[in-house]
Structure 1
């Protein structure tokens, strides 16, 4: 299959340092040269050189983090999905984490403009000893009449396999029909954020402490945290701005790093 953008990256160990051992990209997807947030944590930035996603586009990203290696992956800017009423836009991301590896994925917001139709499938194959951190956000784009939620549909599916067995499945479907802001949908909010964190040290006590940490945001957002059937958690945020969700995610990241002795919060440098 020919993709609008295709990216493959493999991270391995060389002289006790995590490095890019193999990479390939084609079409409108590119990656930067790695910079190191810490001695053994390379940061790669994913760049879309086409300006936005349009009808009929398809994208594929494959990332493998080898045994005891580490990687931080982020995007250069928000992803804009434009009018796509016929074929829609499809994106698939496959992440493979081998034993004792770590992968941190932080994406800028996905902005859906009028008549956008976006489908994302994320597959995570993780060892039970690995660490996986992932965030994304969905926001409504500007429209001529000033109305919110003029996009056609947004679908995001996340499957997490641990040691080869499907252990977590999340399906987010947003299909605007004038009801998204009402009770049981987005309840008056406009932006939605999702966070997944898999780590052997995640316990119910850890999650309870995080809930307490985030309680101060209750007036400006709605936050739900759930433990998974594995050593991990999922978090969903409803808010009215991207900066608010980013602040909450930053609080989560700082808490995670401090509580599980992973070090300081990451400095996701852009540019």
Structure 2
């Protein structure tokens, strides 16, 4: 299952489609918007999903239609690959939550390549599973890599078992079991970090070369966590002199 899309001078091109998607253009806000629809009934063992995005002199908001469910597995992983190339462009990618069912195994491979003029905002959400589950998944493996001007700026590579995460939260005696990780590149990261601090948001830090910002937010409810994520995204858009944008979700 795969999809490949590109934008050149804000003109949309659907290069390959094996996954459902919807494209919109909002004239009032001069905003391209692309929504990836639900992947059938979810991600099953051995499923391999690939998304390729290329932006050239373009500005696009991407989102998912709903949460991504990953089903139980005795052996095989469900795999999600996302490759993004940005050239003098702005990308805003807001994912809905990832729901790993009991005994699920999931592999995510994210690669973003951007030049010096490009900017991006990318947000992921991890839930504790279904309402009656508490990180009962088997294993999640993640490799997120970010290249700026063809040089690796940030590499995030880890494996985590559900029991490990459950134990960590229990040791901290925390009720916050829902997490979001946010990856940001602006053309002035120091100024943007100061802008966040002015609104009392202090959950971001630099990558080693200070060419990106990484943020983590958590909460006890999905609605509150999404409010935090969308508020940070709103600040990002204001920082880029863009109007607030509604994803059309509750």
Verify same fold: TM over 0.5: yes
Structure 1 residue matching 2:134: 3-state secondary structure: coil
Tell me the equivalent position of 1:249: 229
Structure 1 residue matching 2:41: 3-state secondary structure: coil
Q: Supply the distance in 2 between the matched residues of 1:150 and 1:189 (Cα, whole angstroms).
A: 16
Question: 2:102–2:136: 8 Å Cα contact kept in structure 1?
Answer: yes
Question: 1:200–1:232: 8 Å Cα contact kept in structure 2?
Answer: no
Alignment of 1:123-142 (within 5 A): 123-142=111-130
Q: Supply the distance in 2 between the matched residues of 1:234 and 1:155 (Cα, whole angstroms).
A: 19
Question: 2:153–2:211: 8 Å Cα contact kept in structure 1?
Answer: no
Question: 2:84–2:113: 8 Å Cα contact kept in structure 1?
Answer: yes
Cα RMSD (Å): 2.2
Question: 1:122–1:158: 8 Å Cα contact kept in structure 2?
Answer: yes
Structure 2 residue matching 1:119: 3-state secondary structure: strand
Is 1:267–2:249 an aligned residue pair? no
Q: 1:224 Cα shift?
A: 2.8
Structure 1 residue matching 2:120: 3-state secondary structure: strand
Q: 1:250 Cα shift?
A: 1.8
Question: 1:125–1:163: 8 Å Cα contact kept in structure 2?
Answer: yes
Describe the shift of the 1:262–1:174 C-alpha distance in structure 2 as closer, same or farther (beyond 3 A): farther
Runs (5+) with no aligned partner, structure 2:
none
Tell me the equivalent position of 2:79: 90
Q: Supply the distance in 2 between the matched residues of 1:158 and 1:165 (Cα, whole angstroms).
A: 14
Describe the shift of the 1:32–1:261 C-alpha distance in structure 2 as closer, same or farther (beyond 3 A): closer
Tell me the equivalent position of 1:54: 44
Is 1:117–2:105 an aligned residue pair? yes
What TM-score do the two structures reach when normalised by structure 1? 0.83
Q: 1:38 Cα shift?
A: 4.8
Describe the shift of the 1:150–1:263 C-alpha distance in structure 2 as closer, same or farther (beyond 3 A): same
Q: Supply the distance in 2 between the matched residues of 1:188 and 1:161 (Cα, whole angstroms).
A: 35
Is 1:167–2:153 an aligned residue pair? yes
Tell me the equivalent position of 1:219: none
| 1:81 alignment partner, one of 59, 70, 79 | 70
Tell me the equivalent position of 1:11: 7
Question: 1:211–1:225: 8 Å Cα contact kept in structure 2?
Answer: no
Q: 1:237 Cα shift?
A: 1.3
Structure 1 residue matching 2:169: 3-state secondary structure: coil
Tell me the equivalent position of 2:93: 105
Tell me the equivalent position of 1:33: 23
Q: Deviations over 1:178-232 (max 9, x none)?
A: 5131347x944211101111111211x53144135245xxxxxxx7311122433
Q: Supply the distance in 1 between the matched residues of 2:242 and 2:62 (Cα, whole angstroms).
A: 17
Tell me the equivalent position of 1:151: 137
